Chain A
């Protein structure tokens, strides 16, 4: 799950970066970048964090 989380987090960056090439509209770019940030935050908080909690030293 950690690696899926990393992939999703990076995907968020890719979404934001691609907005530079697919449109010249500032509004559309803002929407895409915000979506990218949301995807990245989901990757960190929704996927990576729960996965790491299973490996707490006193839970092993």
Chain B
């Protein structure tokens, strides 16, 4: 009896000690646990586990309702002798998650690429028929020229120091950011790896995905400028200017905002909210394009006949309003890649928020067009078609930065304000600044891009969660109206950088191009239309074009 009591006490003591030891053990580090999946011990899954699984023979008669397709039989087995193991299942789960995110991001990138067609027909429709070929060819070549510059130089500058992107399985090779030490902090200026997508191990599937997605963003920026400068821009100057925009201007600002540069780190380094937050690029893509367009338009000057000698503007209507509005729909379609795709995920880390982003995008486009139509109807008595299209796009531009951080009501408000703002801005640019912008790109993309950046700092509701942090700051992005003044200051800093740095950089680059190449075509070519002098063929050979009054007389 005594022996039994001693034995029971000994067992209880052992259990107590074991429990104590477990309680004192450090909690497992989730970060360390995450990559352990491939190295997990191979635990065999028994026949009982697979008993309910579908057998390949079950599909002998086909699978009309799909219930037999996609089963345990489709999981890749690493060791045929061991059979299906828990490690195999875990690896398959990880591969599926990243596969879903790859597919989502790539498809959204393809949608964005199609926006080039939208920009092309909007801009061509808003120019005169005698310049249609030239305008289309600028939009056509902006894709190739911009991509080449981005491939050679731009991508490494922008994303070379971006670090690991967890939603794409990690991109640890993009780890080299050039920094200077200022104000006691590291100030990231540009990335420095990923040249030719081969340098420093960047021949990597995740890097390819992020390259494709970022490349089409950059191309959107470059195509904004062609609209403002159409009908008088020398084709050779356009190509050189686009090359510099794709290689330097865009990537530098994009690095600061998205590549781990100093704007993104304003929160972590200086306590300003979560740093500059620009979900899909109101500032990075649209404002950079719009501000560069302003710089180029100042250097080029207005089209002949746009202003009288005393500075009063003359209307120069485009030649095909059908193409303009059709192009707006193409752009709106592509915007569903632009904004929702910027989650870079459908699985994990807030990827499902893409649904909210998509709805916000729809709403802002709708209210934007309403705002523009109502403004034009009240002010001029008619719902002007081209301004309606521009207001539609303005709503989309303005929601691009906040789309991932705001609620649907805020999206509708942001779009409505954008729709009115673009009308006011177009009038200001044309009548006060006396800058000739045939398509209104400065107002649509520049002004409303800035509005989108500011709107993020005002309306972000702190309910978006992308893996628990943003730009290395824990918690959710929260705007001024929801209590974080620091976030609004970070957004203002982005605006100051756009108007104070990006404008100057764009202006200086294009001034040099003007000196060396010459930006503007001759007056004779401009009056004749650029299709023949610049491109060698007209867009509509079977049409009789109305001659310019100056040539007819």
7 residue pairs of the A-B complex, CB under 8 angstroms, read A16-B496, A30-B488, A36-B500, A44-B499, A49-B434, A53-B434, A56-B301
**Chain A residue contacts of B523, Cβ below 8 A:** 57
For the complex of A and B, 4 pairs with smallest distance between CB atoms? A13-B500, A16-B496, A21-B183, A40-B500
Q: A10-B504, A36-B500, A37-B492 are in contact. Are A21 and B520 (CB under 8 A)?
A: no
**Chain A residue contacts of B485, Cβ below 8 A:** 26-27, 30
Per the 8 Å Cβ criterion, residues 21-41 of A in contact with B are 21, 24, 26-27, 29-30, 33-34, 36-37, 39-41
Residue A14 CB within 8 A of the other chain: yes
- Contact, CB under 8 Å: A12 / B488: no
- Contact, CB under 8 Å: A10 / B500: yes
Contact among B298, B302, B433, B501 with A10 in the assembled complex (CB-CB below 8 Å): B501
Q: How far is the CA of A36 from the CA of B498 in the complex (A)?
A: 11
Q: How far, in Å, is B241 (CB) from chain A's closest CB?
A: 17
Q: How far is the CA of A24 from the CA of B486 in the complex (A)?
A: 11
Per the 8 Å Cβ criterion, residues 433-470 of B in contact with A are 433-435
Besides A13-B496, A16-B497, A20-B493, 18 other CB < 8 A contacts?
A: A9-B499, A9-B504, A13-B500, A13-B501, A13-B504, A26-B486, A30-B489, A30-B492, A33-B493, A34-B492, A37-B496, A37-B500, A44-B294, A48-B298, A49-B434, A52-B301, A53-B434, A56-B307
- Contact, CB under 8 Å: A44 / B503: yes
Q: How far is the CA of A57 from the CA of B302 in the complex (A)?
A: 8
Q: How far is the CA of A59 from the CA of B496 in the complex (A)?
A: 34
**Chain A residue contacts of B14, Cβ below 8 A:** none
Q: How far is the CA of A34 from the CA of B309 in the complex (A)?
A: 36
- Contact, CB under 8 Å: B302 / A56: yes
**Chain B residue contacts of A59, Cβ below 8 A:** 309
On A, residues with C-beta under 8 Å from B are 6, 9-17, 20-21, 24, 26-27, 29-30, 33-34, 36-37, 39-41, 44-45, 48-49, 52-53, 55-59
B500's nearest neighbour on chain A, judged by CB, is: A13
- Contact, CB under 8 Å: A40 / B520: no
**Chain A residue contacts of B294, Cβ below 8 A:** 44
**Chain A residue contacts of B307, Cβ below 8 A:** 56
Per the 8 Å Cβ criterion, residues 467-499 of B in contact with A are 485-486, 488-489, 492-493, 495-497, 499
Residue B270 CB within 8 A of the other chain: yes
Q: How far is the CA of A40 from the CA of B499 in the complex (A)?
A: 6
Chain B interface residue count, CB cutoff 8 Å, equals: 36
On B, residues with C-beta under 8 Å from A are 182-183, 266, 270-272, 294, 298-299, 301-302, 304, 307, 309, 311, 433-435, 485-486, 488-489, 492-493, 495-497, 499-501, 503-504, 507-508, 520, 523
**Chain A residue contacts of B182, Cβ below 8 A:** 21
- Contact, CB under 8 Å: A24 / B520: no
Q: How far, in Å, is B108 (CB) from chain A's closest CB?
A: 33
B487's nearest neighbour on chain A, judged by CB, is: A26
Contact among B183, B298, B492, B507 with A33 in the assembled complex (CB-CB below 8 Å): B492
**Chain B residue contacts of A12, Cβ below 8 A:** 496, 499-500
A21's nearest neighbour on chain B, judged by CB, is: B183
Q: How far, in Å, is A3 (CB) from chain B's closest CB?
A: 9
Q: How far is the CA of A27 from the CA of B489 in the complex (A)?
A: 9
Q: How far is the CA of A45 from the CA of B433 in the complex (A)?
A: 7
Q: How far, in Å, is A27 (CB) from chain B's closest CB?
A: 8
Q: How far, in Å, is A26 (CB) from chain B's closest CB?
A: 5
Q: How far is the CA of A26 from the CA of B171 in the complex (A)?
A: 34
Q: A9-B503, A58-B309 are in contact. Are A33 and B304 (CB under 8 A)?
A: no
**Chain A residue contacts of B309, Cβ below 8 A:** 58-59
Q: A41-B499, A57-B301 are in contact. Are A6 and B489 (CB under 8 A)?
A: no
- Contact, CB under 8 Å: B183 / A49: no
- Contact, CB under 8 Å: A6 / B504: yes
**Chain A residue contacts of B499, Cβ below 8 A:** 9, 12-13, 37, 40-41, 44
Q: How far is the CA of A6 from the CA of B512 in the complex (A)?
A: 14
Q: How far is the CA of A10 from the CA of B489 in the complex (A)?
A: 19
**Chain B residue contacts of A37, Cβ below 8 A:** 492, 495-496, 499-500
Q: How far, in Å, is B287 (CB) from chain A's closest CB?
A: 13
**Chain B residue contacts of A58, Cβ below 8 A:** 304, 309
Q: How far is the CA of A57 from the CA of B303 in the complex (A)?
A: 9
